[in-house]
């Protein structure tokens, strides 16, 4: 119905004409293009088929002839050298000669070498080497006489006298200081045919001339030609002197996979098709293979003129089609009308009367372009935040479910170039913040970290094209690098770490510990390597200012671990805490931390020691009837303490979070006089534990009765009198077992026990006998 209504109007008539015009125009273009298509197909079949095949056959024959010429020249050099090797000038008459005094003999040898050198245009130099078996000092004619004195040169030439190989070709570097400067060399030991040669004739070929000779097998500007040995080593080529080109390597693999040792084939490399001819050279003691590759375009160059004729004919047909299209172009309005309707939302009456269609299209296009640019700007502003968020998820292991390809694809969307890259993550931590209380206040950690991150970003961007910094806002940061190629960027990273350390020391007055992670080629390995770097930073030396740790060289087994735990100080701290002596408790904590932080101590050693002390204090609090959960309001004290890295912060945390709240709770529950009596009793026990002490004697000492003292012990310490005395005696016994050589019965007497009862009570409370405990403590077991 819609088409019927349109057909009754002028617009419908215009619509039918437009549709008919399109069909007519397509038909005209198709008919006008048929002749060109037919001509192109016929010529393509002739050129691409028979002519190309014939030219390829002629090319292969030409390569075989030129390869034969190279073979003849190399064979002439072999025959020439074999002839001179059997010459009387180089027989056993050379043995024992003083070639310095026998000047005529030396000059004759030099002339002979010059004649040999001029016998072939490929020869760079002919040399004669005589070693100590000739009855003289190692001597070299090159071609003038020279006495070899350098051990490296003598060893280099002596290697040429290989047993069971009298004549052979080799790639040889005459200067041992430059092993990369090798010449194709023919070696013939002298005297010729001898089982005990004492010298060698060397014919060193000119690499440039050999390359030019091989280039005759590639008569075109493009292509590749080279010689390889049976082992696949490159002998000579027309390409890079530093080694085989990628095309040459690919051709070697292709030929090695073929069973025929001679022939030709087509090979496509880098979207270019080559015709490849190869065969064998029968050289002395080995076989060489020659390979020549030429692009098809060079071989089919004779038919370029035919292709130009086809191009001219096709251009003429195209010109005719353009003319026909131009005649009908005035009626091509339908696409423009549809475009206008789309831009106006299908309402053609919305277009202003004074505007034409192209002005409207231009105005709408400018609007859409402006909107596109604004969206692009918004995207570019948000992209750094999106990249940082993605990188944080990556290093923290939240993207473990993604495959390697998925991770690479996502990183490419965020404008990372991750193809053929080596990735490194570095963990950076700032220390010494609490020492700068006059410079920074509590809570400025995020601000200081932000300043350090800005410095890291600036310095890393000056050295690496792709670097991203992660801000953890807790005086630590991460650095992610994507370095092109497979080279290890650790050396450059170490230079960056040293520069960054100096800058932070000078500007922020803080110390820096930097862990350079292991390089990897897999993005999926980054979370594991970052976690490894974070763990290793716990093994930093606690007393050092700045440290740079390279994971590639770091071995945790090398970290010093002979740190003695201050048990005596722990007992003093626990006792001071139980009896409510705040100052003595804090002094003991400071001394305890100082003992842990001695020479050779690592961060993890100090942290573990403080965690162990925390466990003892929490146990003492429980024994005193105070629940630690009430002090920490449900938080995990071990987790809170593990996050503290500064010694001053540790002491402040113990004071503010544990000692002061506990003593406040204790004071609320305990009378001060009772605490003093219990304290006097405990001091009395510590000073007289080796004697026969009873509750009555202790009560007499403190001026109280046994019942009151027993109840006070239970109230203050959470244990009864005998348990406290037993604990003191056993702690002293364990100290004597660890640090002295006293016998078990002597230890029992020193702590106030009989031998048999001591063994029984020790086994009951500690789970092992005194002898077993001594063995375990000296073996390092807990």
pLDDT digits (tens, 9 = 90+) for 314-323: 677 667 766 7
Average pLDDT over residues 505-518: 85
Does position 423 have pLDDT exceeding 70, yes or no?
yes
Q: Give, in words, the CATH class of 670-782.
A: mainly alpha
Instruction: Out of 51-60, 349-358, 421-430, 644-653, pick the least confident.
Output: 349-358
Does position 77 have pLDDT exceeding 80, yes or no?
yes
Range among 344-358, 468-482, 611-625 rated most confident = 468-482
* Tokens 């013939």 belong to residue: 188
Q: Check residue 31 and give its pLDDT.
A: 62
More confident call, 36 vs 571? 571
More confident call, 645 vs 528? 528
Average pLDDT over residues 609-624: 82
Does position 13 have pLDDT exceeding 50, yes or no?
no
Q: Check residue 19 and give its pLDDT.
A: 46
Share of the chain above pLDDT 70, in %: 80
More confident call, 382 vs 775? 775
Could you give the 3-state DSSP secondary structure of residue 519? Answer: coil
Q: Check residue 506 and give its pLDDT.
A: 85
Q: Check residue 303 and give its pLDDT.
A: 60
Contact criterion met (CB below 8 Å) for 755 and 763: no
Q: Which of 181, 186, 184 has the alpha carbon at shortest distance from 203?
A: 186
Fold that domain 396-558 belongs to in CATH: Alpha-Beta Plaits (3.30.70)
Average pLDDT over residues 648-663: 83
Which pLDDT band, with edges at 50, 70 and 90, does 21 fall under?
very low
Which pLDDT band, with edges at 50, 70 and 90, does 83 fall under?
confident
Range among 84-88, 203-207, 367-371 rated most confident = 203-207
Contact criterion met (CB below 8 Å) for 429 and 533: no
Output the CATH code of domain 86-205. Answer: 3.30.450
Instruction: Out of 99-103, 265-269, 390-394, 505-509, pick the least confident.
Output: 99-103
Does position 554 have pLDDT exceeding 80, yes or no?
no
Share of the chain above pLDDT 90, in %: 0
Q: Check residue 486 and give its pLDDT.
A: 74
DSSP conformational letter for 518? P
Average pLDDT over residues 420-429: 88
Contact criterion met (CB below 8 Å) for 535 and 582: no
Q: Check residue 311 and give its pLDDT.
A: 63
Average pLDDT over residues 580-606: 79
Average pLDDT over residues 97-113: 82
Average pLDDT over residues 560-578: 74
Count the Cβ atoms, other than its own, within 10 Å of residue 320: 16
Does position 12 have pLDDT exceeding 50, yes or no?
no
Q: Check residue 22 and give its pLDDT.
A: 52
Does position 3 have pLDDT exceeding 50, yes or no?
no
Does position 110 have pLDDT exceeding 80, yes or no?
yes
More confident call, 545 vs 109? 109
Answer positive or negative: Cα dihedral of 97, 102, 108, 112: positive
More confident call, 90 vs 355? 90
Q: Check residue 40 and give its pLDDT.
A: 62
* Tokens 């619509």 belong to residue: 15
Does position 350 have pLDDT exceeding 70, yes or no?
no
Q: Check residue 325 and give its pLDDT.
A: 59
Question: Which structure tokens are listed for 547?
Answer: 């440290």
Q: Check residue 308 and give its pLDDT.
A: 63
Q: Where in the chain is the domain with CATH 3.30.70.270?
A: 396-558
Question: What region, left, alpha or beta, does residue 625 occupy, with left being phi > 0 and alpha being psi -120 to 50 degrees?
Answer: left
CA distances to 168, 196, 403 from 131, rounded to whole Å, are: 19, 12, 63
CA distances to 48, 54, 337, 355, 424 from 360, rounded to whole Å, are: 51, 61, 11, 7, 54
Contact criterion met (CB below 8 Å) for 697 and 722: no
Q: Check residue 17 and give its pLDDT.
A: 39
Q: Check residue 393 and give its pLDDT.
A: 87
Q: Where in the chain is the domain with CATH 3.30.450?
A: 86-205
* First-residue to last-residue Cα distance in the chain: 95
Instruction: Out of 226-230, 364-368, 430-434, 756-760, pick the least confident.
Output: 430-434
Count the Cβ atoms, other than its own, within 10 Å of residue 640: 13
Does position 441 have pLDDT exceeding 70, yes or no?
no
Q: Where are the beta strands (DSSP E) in 410-510?
A: 421-431, 467-471, 476-484
Question: Which structure tokens are listed for 247?
Answer: 């095309």
Q: Check residue 536 and give its pLDDT.
A: 77
More confident call, 60 vs 527? 527
Q: Check residue 643 and give its pLDDT.
A: 75
Helix pair 721-739, 695-702: axis angle to 10 deg:
100
- Return the bridge partners of 188, or none: 167, 201
- pLDDT per residue over 172-191, tens digit each? 888 888 888 888 888 888 88
Count the Cβ atoms, other than its own, within 10 Å of residue 253: 9
Q: Check residue 14 and give its pLDDT.
A: 40
Average pLDDT over residues 349-371: 69
Average pLDDT over residues 399-406: 86
Average pLDDT over residues 113-118: 86
- pLDDT per residue over 277-311, tens digit each? 888 888 877 888 888 888 877 666 666 566 666 66
Average pLDDT over residues 675-704: 86
Q: What are phi and psi of 183, to 5 degrees?
A: -120, 145
Average pLDDT over residues 365-379: 80
- pLDDT per residue over 205-253, tens digit each? 888 888 888 888 877 767 788 888 877 788 888 865 567 788 888 888 8
Q: Where in the chain is the domain with CATH 1.10.10.60?
A: 670-782
Which pLDDT band, with edges at 50, 70 and 90, does 55 fall under?
low
Q: Check residue 669 and give its pLDDT.
A: 65
Which pLDDT band, with edges at 50, 70 and 90, does 336 fall under?
low
Does position 707 have pLDDT exceeding 50, yes or no?
yes
- pLDDT per residue over 152-172, tens digit each? 888 888 888 877 788 888 888
pLDDT, averaged across the chain: 78
Does position 493 have pLDDT exceeding 80, yes or no?
yes
Distance CA 678, CA 718 (A): 12
Average pLDDT over residues 76-87: 84
Average pLDDT over residues 601-618: 80
């Amino acid at each position: 119905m819609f088409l019927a209504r349109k057909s009754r109007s002028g617009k419908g008539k215009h619509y039918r004409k437009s549709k008919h015009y399109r069909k007519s125009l397509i038909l005209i273009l198709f008919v006008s293009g048929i002749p060109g298509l037919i001509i192109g197909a016929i010529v393509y079949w002739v050129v691409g088929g028979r002519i190309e095949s014939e030219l390829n056959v002629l090319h292969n024959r030409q390569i075989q002839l030129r390869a034969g010429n190279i073979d003849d020249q190399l064979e002439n050099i072999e025959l020439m050298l074999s002839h001179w090797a059997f010459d009387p000038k180089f027989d056993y008459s050379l043995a024992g000669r003083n070639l310095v005094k026998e000047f005529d003999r030396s000059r004759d040898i030099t002339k002979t070498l010059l004649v040999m050198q001029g016998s072939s245009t490929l020869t760079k130099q002919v040399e004669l080497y005589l070693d100590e078996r000739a009855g003289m000092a190692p001597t070299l004619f090159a071609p003038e006489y020279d006495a070899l004195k350098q051990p490296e040169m003598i060893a280099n030439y002596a290697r040429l006298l290989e047993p069971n190989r009298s004549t052979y070709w080799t790639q040889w570097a005459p200067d041992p200081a430059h092993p990369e400067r090798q010449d194709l060399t023919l070696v013939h030991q002298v005297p010729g045919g001898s089982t005990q040669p004492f010298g060698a004739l060397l014919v060193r070929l000119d690499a440039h001339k050999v390359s030019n000779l091989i280039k005759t097998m590639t008569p075109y500007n493009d292509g590749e030609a080279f010689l390889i040995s049976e082992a696949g080593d490159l002998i000579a080529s027309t390409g890079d002197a530093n080694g085989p080109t990628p095309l040459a390597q690919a051709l070697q693999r292709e030929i090695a996979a073929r069973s025929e040792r001679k022939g030709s084939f087509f090979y496509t490399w880098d979207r270019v098709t080559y015709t490849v001819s190869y065969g064998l050279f029968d050289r002395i003691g080995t076989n060489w293979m020659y390979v020549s590759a030429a692009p098809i375009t060079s071989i089919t160059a004779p038919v370029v003129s035919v292709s130009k004729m086809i191009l001219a004919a096709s251009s003429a047909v195209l010109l005719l089609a353009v003319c026909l299209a131009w005649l009908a172009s005035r009626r091509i309005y339908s696409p423009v009308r549809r475009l206008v309707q789309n831009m106006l939302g299908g309402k053609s009456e919305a277009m202003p009367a004074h505007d034409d269609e192209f002005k409207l299209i231009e105005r709408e296009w400018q609007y859409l372009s402006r909107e596109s640019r604004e969206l692009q700007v918004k995207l570019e502003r948000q992209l750094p935040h999106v990249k940082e968020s993605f990188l944080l998820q990556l290093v923290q292991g939240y993207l473990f479910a993604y495959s390697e390809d998925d991770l690479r694809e996502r990183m490419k969307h965020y404008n990372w170039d991750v193809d053929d890259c080596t990735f490194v993550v570095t963990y950076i931590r700032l220390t010494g913040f609490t020492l700068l209380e006059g410079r920074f206040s509590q809570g400025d950690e995020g601000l200081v970290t932000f300043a350090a991150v800005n410095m890291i970003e600036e310095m890393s961007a000056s050295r690496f094209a792709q670097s991203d910094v992660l801000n953890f806002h807790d005086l630590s940061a991460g650095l992610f690098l994507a370095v092109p190629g497979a080279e290890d960027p650790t050396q450059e990273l170490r230079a960056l770490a040293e520069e960054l350390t100096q800058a932070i020391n000078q500007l922020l007055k803080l110390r820096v510990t930097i862990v350079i992670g292991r390089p990897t080629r897999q993005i999926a390995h980054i979370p594991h390597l970052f976690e490894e770097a974070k763990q290793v930073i716990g093994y930093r030396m606690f007393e050092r200012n700045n440290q740079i740790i390279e994971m590639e060289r770091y071995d945790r087994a090398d970290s010093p671990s002979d740190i003695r735990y201050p048990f005596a100080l722990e007992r003093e701290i626990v006792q001071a805490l139980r009896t409510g002596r705040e100052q003595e408790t804090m002094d003991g904590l400071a001394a305890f931390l100082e003992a842990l932080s001695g020479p050779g101590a690592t961060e993890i050693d100090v942290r573990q020691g403080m965690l162990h002390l925390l466990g003892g204090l929490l146990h003492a609090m429980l024994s005193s009837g105070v629940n630690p959960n009430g002090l920490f309001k449900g938080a995990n004290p071990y987790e809170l303490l593990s996050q503290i890295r500064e010694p001053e912060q540790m002491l402040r945390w113990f004071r503010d979070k544990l000692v002061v709240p506990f003593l406040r709770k204790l004071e609320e529950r305990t009378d001060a006089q009772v605490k003093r009596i219990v304290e006097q009793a405990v001091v009395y026990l510590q000073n007289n534990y080796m004697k026969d002490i009873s509750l009555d004697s202790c009560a007499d000492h403190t001026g109280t009765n046994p019942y009151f003292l027993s109840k006070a012990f239970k109230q203050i310490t959470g244990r009864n009198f005998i348990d406290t005395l037993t604990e003191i005696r056993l702690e002293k016994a364990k100290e004597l077992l660890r640090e002295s050589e006293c016998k078990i019965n002597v230890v029992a007497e020193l702590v106030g026990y009989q031998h048999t009862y001591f063994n029984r009570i020790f086994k009951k409370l500690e789970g092992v006998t005194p002898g077993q405990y001594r063995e375990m403590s000296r073996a390092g077991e807990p």
